[in-house]
Amino acid sequence: MIPHDDGAAGPGTGLRLVLGSASPGRAEVLTRARVPFRVVVSGVAEAAVGAAAGDPSPAELAGLLAEAKGRDVAARVAAAGVDAPTLVLGCDSVFEFEGRSHGKPYEPEVAVERWRAQAGREGVLHSGHWLGLVLPESGAASGMAAEAGVVSAVVRFGAVTEAEIQAYVATGEPLHCAGAFTVDGAGAALVDGVDGDPNAVIGLSVAWLRRAAAALGQDFTRLWEPSNAQR
Would residue 197 show up in a list of annotated catalytic residues for this protein? no
d(CA 97, CA 109): 18
* From 55, 72, 83, 92, the catalytic residue: 92
Contacts of 176 (CB under 8 A, 6+ apart): 104, 106
Dihedral sign (CA 19, 24, 30, 31): positive
CA 72 vs CA 63, 82, 148, 149: distances in Å: 14, 16, 14, 17
Residues 47-76 as b or e (16 or more Cβ within 10 Å = b): eebbeeeeebebbbbbbbbbbbbbbbbbbb
Distances from the Cα of 226 to the Cαs of 13, 36, 69, 82, 210, in angstroms?
10, 10, 29, 19, 18
Residues with catalytic function: 92
